[in-house]
Structure 1
Amino acid sequence: MIFEQIPTGGCQSYLVGCEATRAAVLIDPEFSQIDRYVGLAGQLGLHVRYIVDTHTHADHFSASHELQKLLPAPVVMHRLSPAPYADLRLDDGDMLIVGELRLQALHTPGHTGDSMCLVMADRVFTGDTLLIGGTGRTDLPTGDPHALFESLFDKLLKLPREMLVYPAHDYKGRTHSTIGDEIDANPRLQKTDRAEFVAMMQSLDLSAPTHLTEALRTNMSGGKTVAQLLAEASAKVPFMSLAELHSRIGGNSRDIVILDLREKDAFEAGHIPGARHLPRGQLELRVNSELLDPTVRILACCEFGKISTLAAATLRELGFTRAVALDGGLTAWREAGYELEA
């Protein structure tokens, strides 16, 4: 067996391949590592047959939807997953065949309603159901401490004690555990009475994941993250440096329209000399009346350079093919000591 564990912060992904056939499965891929997964599979001569998400992640962005198109390979999730891009939906007990490898699905709800684990001959990929020294939380959407108790004590902990445990998260640099070690030493698993376990889970005072709403939105729907939108826009537009714009203003250049996309109060408090005001929220509705010449060079600017990047991409799509964005925005302009006018 070919086995690669790919950590990303506290997230853990796994590339598991059959040595004889070079078929492979990729488990719980994280969005920022897309190029790494593709490169690693190529380096090892593996053909990824399945991309598996063990559940709908709420604390990071799944790479499954993008890898589905890049590799390409079908996305596998439990049948209760809300993700519309899942190609293959598994029931409890269903099995994936990857060359000579076999991975059996265990439906283990609790952390989420669609949580599942994948059991191989000597190891189990537990997603967020069972962690090293802990368990998945149950206070996020579709979480249920009663269901988690049953998933742990009626299913996972009945696996052989020597079975290796590979979770989807670990924040202390640990790579794996065993079922026996978790039974013996995991503090949460010492609560073997259902009522005590449920009370413990309900009393946990955990902060919400940083990207909770965005992660759920994108992982449940296949929608795009803000970072994706910015990356796509950045690939469609060129940028202008602060020094270049400053020199053009100093030379009284008339071949460029500076378009300030901030709100009115921010614009009136101070803007780049000669800039025209057009709030981003009104861009599409007013562009034809405000920008009469589609051949003119337009420099879009905002406070930090992000909204202007999106706006410049929109302008190019609308036919203003010379639109550019200011690198760094008004914040960088001020920090460089360049003048503003009110």
Structure 2
Amino acid sequence: MIFEQVATGGCQSYLVGCEATQAAVLIDPELSRIDHYRGLLTRHGLTLKYVIDTHTHADHFSASKALGKAFGVPVVMHRLSPAPHADLRLDDGDTLIAGELKLKALHTPGHTRDSMSLLMGDRVFTGDTLLIGGTGRSDLPTGDPHQLYESLFDVLLRLPAETLVFPAHDYKGRSHSTIGAEKADNPRLQKTDRADFVAMMEALDLQAPTHLTEALRTNMSGGKTVAQLLSEAAARTPFMALEELKDRIGGNSRDLIVLDIREKDAFDGGRVPGAKHLPRGQLELRVNTELPDPTARIVTCCEFGKISTLAAATLRELGYTRAVALDGGMKAWREAGYPLEN
């Protein structure tokens, strides 16, 4: 068996390959590591057969949809997953076969209702249900401490003690544990009474994950992250350097429109001299009136250079093929000490 564990911060993903057939599965891939997964597949000469998410992640962005599309392979999740891009939905007890690899789905809800663990030979991939020295939280959308108790004590902890445990998270640099070690040493698993366990979980005062809303939105719907939108916009949009714009307005360039897309209070508080105001929220509705010449050279600017990148990309899609974005935005312009107009 070919086995690669990929750590991304506290997140863990796994590439598992069959040496006899070169078939492979990828478990809980993270969006920022797509190129790394490609490299691992190439290095080992593996052919990806399935991309698997053990549950709907709320703290990072899944790469399952992107990888499924890129490699033309099914995205696998539990049947209760809300994700529309899940091509193959497993029920409790179903077995996924890739070459000589066999992964048995165990429905282990509690962290989320669509959580599943994957039992493969001597190991189990527990997602966020069972962690090393801990358990998944049960206070996020579709979480349930009663279900988590049952998943732990009635399913996972009944596996042989020597079963290796590979979770979807670990924040202390540990790679794996065993069922026996978790039974003996995991503090949360010492609460063997259901009522005590549920009370413990309900008393936890945990902060919400940093990207909770965006992660749930993208992972549940298959939509894009803001970072993806910005990256795609930046890839098809040229930029103008701060000094270049300063020189052009200083030379009274007549073929350049500086388009400030911030809200009015920000625009009135200080802008590039001669800038035209058109808030981003009104761009598509007013563009024909405010920018009648599609051949004009336009540089968009916002506070940090991000929304202006999206705006410049939109203008290019609308036919303004000379639209560019100001690199760094107005914050960088002010910090450089360049002229402002009020």
> When the two structures are superposed, what TM-score results if normalisation uses the length of structure 2?
0.99
1:10-37 deviation digits (Å, cap 9, x = unpaired): 0000000000100000000000001111
Query: For 1:292 and 1:116, how far apart are their aligned partners in 2?
Result: 56
Q: What's the counterpart of residue 169 of structure 2?
A: 169
- Structure 2 residue 336 is the aligned partner of structure 1 residue 336: yes
Q: Write the letter of the residue equivalent to 1:226.
A: V
- Matched with 1:222 is 222
Would you say the 8 A contact 1:12–1:28 is kept in 2? Answer: yes
> Distance in 2 between the 1:250 and 1:64 partners?
50
Query: What's the % identity of the aligned pairs?
Result: 78
**Does structure 2 conserve the Cα–Cα contact (< 8 Å) formed by 1:149 and 1:197?**
yes
Paired with 1:269 and 1:121, the residues of 2 have a C-alpha distance of 65
SS at match of 2:321: coil
Which letter maps to 2:8? T
User: Post-superposition shift, 1:289?
Assistant: 0.6
Q: Using the TM superposition, give the Cα deviation of residue 193 of structure 1 relative to its aligned residue in structure 2, in angstroms.
A: 0.2
1:68-217 aligned at under 5 Å gives the runs 68-217=68-217
Structure 1 letter corresponding to 2:199:
A
**Per-residue deviation, 1:192:** 0.3
Q: Which runs of 5+ in 1 are unaligned?
A: none
1:248-267 correspondence runs (5 A): 248-267=248-267
Give the equivalent residue in structure 1 for 2:58.
58
Aligned to 2:13: 13
- C-alpha distance in 2, partners of 1:207/1:287? 43
Counterpart residue number, 2:295: 295
Residue number in structure 2 paired with 1:307: 307
Structure 2 CA distance, aligned partners of 1:81 and 1:26? 18
The one-letter code sitting in structure 1 at the alignment partner of 2:197 is: F
Aligned-pair CA distance for 1:72: 2.2
CA contact (8 A) 1:299 1:323 kept: yes
Q: Which residue of 2 aligns with 1:279?
A: 279
The aligned residue for residue 320 of structure 2 is 320
Q: Deviations over 1:72-91 (max 9, x none)?
A: 21100000000000000000
After TM superposition, the score normalised by the length of structure 1 is 0.99
SS at structure 2 position matched to 1:50: strand
- CA distance in structure 2 between the aligned counterparts of 1:290 and 1:182, rounded to whole angstroms: 65
Please state how far the C-alpha of 1:71 moved relative to its aligned partner.
1.5
Tell me the distance in 1 between the aligned counterparts of 2:293 and 2:97: 60
- Alpha-carbon distance in structure 1 between the residues aligned to 2:24 and 2:305: 41
Aligned-partner Cα distance in 2 for 1:314–1:29: 31
In 1, the alpha carbon distance for the partners of 2:328 and 2:72 equals 36
In 2, the alpha carbon distance for the partners of 1:72 and 1:3 equals 22
- The 2-side partners of 1:267 and 1:153 are apart by 60
Residue 39 (structure 1) aligns with: 39
Paired position in structure 2 for 1:241 = 241
Contact 1:38 1:71 in 2 (8 A): no
Secondary structure, aligned partner of 2:12: strand
- SS in structure 2 opposite 1:112? coil
Moved over 3 A (4+): none
In 2, the alpha carbon distance for the partners of 1:102 and 1:261 equals 54
Q: Which amino acid is the alignment partner of residue 106 of structure 2?
A: L
Provide the C-alpha distance between the structure 2 equivalents of 1:292 and 1:127, rounded to a whole number of angstroms. Answer: 54
* Preserved contact between residue 116 and residue 127 of structure 1 (Cα < 8 Å): yes
- Is the contact between residue 233 and residue 313 of structure 1 (CA under 8 Å) also seen in structure 2? yes
Deviations 1:159-179, CA, capped at 9 Å, x for gaps: 000010000000000000000
Deviations 1:46-97 (A, max 9, x none): 0010000000000000000100111221100000000000000000000011
Q: Which runs of 5+ in 2 are unaligned?
A: none
CA distance in 2, matches of 1:31, 1:100: 27
Amino acid at match of 2:31: F
Q: Provide the aligned length of Structure 1 versus Structure 2.
A: 342
CA distance in 2, matches of 1:128, 1:160: 20
Cα distance in 1 for partners of 2:100, 2:292 equals 65
Return the offset for 1:250.
1.2
Instruction: Give the secondary-structure state (helix, strand or coil) at the position aligned to 2:286.
Output: helix
Q: CA RMSD in A?
A: 0.5
User: What is the alpha-carbon distance in structure 2 between the residues aligned to residue 105 and residue 196 of structure 1?
Assistant: 28
Structure 1 contact 56–219 (Cα < 8 Å) conserved? yes
Deviation at 1:38, TM superposition (A): 1.2
In the alignment, residue 154 of structure 1 is paired with which amino acid? D
- Secondary structure of the equivalent of 2:110? coil
- CA separation in 1, counterparts of 2:322 and 2:68? 34
Q: How far apart in 2 are the matches of 1:217 and 1:325?
A: 28
